[in-house]
């Protein structure tokens, strides 16, 4: 069975051995097992804290939570009643259908529409679809955001939002480097003051490491990244998600996170493509699609020329 739905989870398996598991709660991908060409044995590519709640009581600490319609604390007036990172990661999505089921890929589509619970804190008209596609060495996630407003008024009744894929990539975080972020402008959320956090810095490192507490928002990033470490890595190719967040709390901040396992910060790096500086806009009746494609890399790869 390439697609199995059970107990609020959807399990996808590919004929070549890769698999992925998605919780309907938050449309959160909680597992992705894949090999590489030279080493075909599937291995887990995502980190989920052993203390993570998987019962729908709180967003999952790990995997790939979907952040919508606000990143971090809300700053848009229409988001003012929402919590950190919005509601998409903490609502139960609907399994809509299998999109594709062949050797090229196994793909499913989940949806989320306004419910009384959502409308009580966010009253904008929207329809979300989350499409997960599994290939032999790849996992793609697409977020479709439709503005379902039928208003013909001017100025248009645009839907304004932020969106992000909060990837917890399983990796020896002390040895990870992320490319190519050099020379990009970024905002450092680890700074102690508001002034420090809102002042743009410029990345000087060819490869960005997370050996210390890191919470950086790169603006207008190249949408093509590599996170590599000795012996492996993940390529990330992105569409419509112009910014990139790199986060690892290390012990300094990680020990204060209730659902983070002891030493969890050594086991992952969050590399999060998103539209998080400013707001994406969709006109009434129109749809926006943000996409990422994660691919496994086998050998250590350092892109010195970038
Ligand atoms: O604890 P949460 O809400 O899942 O957020 C985790 C982290 O998510 C990152 O994307 C943010 O940049 C961090 O500031 C935040 O701490």
- pLDDT score at 16: 95
263 DSSP 8-state letter: T
Task: Please provide the distance, in angstroms rounded to a whole number, between the alpha carbons at the two ends of the chain.
Answer: 43
**pLDDT tens digits, 129-181:** 999 999 999 999 999 999 999 999 999 999 999 999 999 999 999 999 999 99
CA 72 to ligand 1 center in whole angstroms: 7
Determine which one of 21, 79, 166, 226 is catalytic.
166
Contact (CB, 8 A) for 143 and 256: no
Q: Which atom of ligand 1 is nearest to the CA of 67?
A: 10
Q: Judge whether residue 60 has pLDDT over 90.
A: yes
Interior CA angle at 255 toward 254 and 256, to 5°? 90
Atom 7 of ligand 1 has which residue's CA nearest to it? 247
Q: CA dist 229 to 55, 196, 203, 233, 298, Å?
A: 33, 30, 20, 6, 10
Does any ligand 1 atom lie closer than 6 A to the CB of residue 243?
no
The residue-averaged pLDDT of 50-62 equals 98
- Provide the sign of the torsion angle of the four alpha carbons 75, 91, 190, 253, taken in this order: positive
- Testing ligand 1's pocket by substitution, the residue of 215, 241, 257 carrying the most ligand atoms inside 8 A of its CB is 215
Give the tens place of pLDDT for each residue, 207-252. 999 999 999 999 999 999 999 999 899 999 999 999 999 999 999 9
DSSP, res 109: E
Mean pLDDT of 39-53: 97
**Ligand 1 binding pocket mutation candidate from 47, 82, 83, 84 (most atoms within 8 A of CB):** 84
The CB of 151 under 6 Å from ligand 1? The reply is: no
Dist. CA 68–CA 72, nearest whole Å:
10
Give 6 Cα–ligand 1 centroid separation in angstroms: 29
Tell me: pLDDT of 94 over 80. yes
pTM: 0.97
pLDDT for residue 301 is more than 80 = no
Closest-lying ligand 1 atom to the alpha carbon of residue 164: 10
245 lines ligand 1 (CB under 6 A): yes
Residue 79 Cβ inside 6 Å of ligand 1? The answer reads: no
| High-pLDDT (> 70) share of the chain, % | 97
231: left (phi over 0), alpha (psi -120 to 50) or beta: left
Residue-level pLDDT at 231: 86
Q: What are phi and psi of 88, to 5 degrees?
A: -60, -30
Reported as a pLDDT band with limits 50, 70 and 90, residue 304 is very low
Ligand 1 midpoint to CA 277 (Å): 15
pLDDT at 250: 98
In the block, tokens 């699609």 appear at 289
Question: What does the angle CA 20 – CA 238 – CA 218 come to, to the nearest 5 degrees?
Answer: 115
User: Which residue among 261, 272, 283, 300 is the active-site one?
Assistant: 272
Is the per-residue pLDDT at 267 higher than 60? yes
166 is known as an active-site residue: yes
Q: How far apart are CA 202 and CA 208, in angstroms?
A: 12
Ordered structural domains, the chain, with CATH:
3-297 (2.70.98.10)
State if residue 85 touches ligand 1 by the CB under 6 angstroms criterion: yes
CB-ligand 1 contact for 218 (6 Å cutoff): no
Mutation probe of ligand 1 site: the residue of 247, 252, 255 with most atoms within 8 A of C-beta: 247
Q: Is 127 a catalytic residue?
A: no
Contact 50, 56 (CB under 8 A): no
Among the atoms of ligand 1, which is closest to the Cα of residue 257?
Answer: 1
Q: What is the mean pLDDT of the chain?
A: 96
36 phi/psi in degrees, rounded to 5:
-130, 170
Determine contact, residues 285/149, Cβ cutoff 8 Å: yes
* Ranges 11-15, 200-204, 295-299: which has the least confidence: 295-299
pLDDT per residue over 271-299, tens digit each?
999 999 999 999 999 999 999 999 999 86
Kindly report the protein residue whose alpha carbon is nearest to atom 3 of ligand 1.
84
Q: Which residues of 150-178 are buried (b: 16+ CB within 10 A; e: fewer)?
A: eeeeeebbbbbbbbbbbbbbbbebeebbb
- List 1's β-bridge partners, or say none: none
């Amino acid at each position: 069975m390439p697609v199995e739905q059970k107990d609020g989870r959807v399990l996808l398996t590919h004929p070549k051995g890769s698999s992925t598991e998605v919780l309907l709660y938050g449309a959160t991908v909680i597992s992705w097992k894949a090999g590489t060409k030279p080493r075909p044995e599937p291995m887990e590519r995502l980190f989920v804290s052993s203390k993570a709640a998987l019962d729908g009581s709180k967003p999952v600490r790990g995997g790939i939570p979907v952040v919508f319609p606000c990143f971090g604390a809300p700053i848009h007036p229409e988001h003012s009643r929402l919590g950190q990172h919005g509601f998409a990661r903490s609502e139960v999505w609907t399994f809509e259908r299998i999109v594709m089921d062949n050797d090229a890929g196994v793909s499913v589509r989940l949806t989320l529409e306004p419910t009384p619970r959502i409308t009580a804190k966010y009253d904008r008209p929207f329809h979300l679809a989350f499409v997960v596609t599994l290939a032999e060495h790849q996992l793609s996630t697409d977020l479709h955001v439709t503005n379902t407003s039928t208003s013909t008024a001017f100025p248009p009744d645009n839907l304004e939002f932020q969106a992000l894929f909060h990837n917890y990539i399983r990796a020896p975080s002390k040895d990870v480097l992320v490319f190519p972020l050099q020379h990009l402008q970024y905002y450092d959320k680890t700074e102690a003051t508001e002034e420090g956090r809102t002042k743009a810095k410029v990345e000087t490192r060819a490869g960005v490491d997370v050996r210390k507490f890191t919470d950086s928002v790169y603006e207008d990033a190249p949408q093509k990244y590599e996170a590599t470490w000795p012996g492996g890595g993940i390529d990330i190719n992105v569409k419509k998600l112009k910014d990139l967040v790199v986060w690892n709390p290390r012990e300094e901040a990680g020990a204060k996170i209730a659902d983070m396992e002891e030493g969890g910060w050594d086991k992952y790096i969050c590399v999060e493509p998103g539209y998080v500086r400013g707001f994406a806009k969709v006109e009434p009746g129109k749809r926006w699609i943000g996409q990422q494609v994660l691919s496994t890399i086998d050998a250590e790869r350092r892109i010195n020329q970038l």
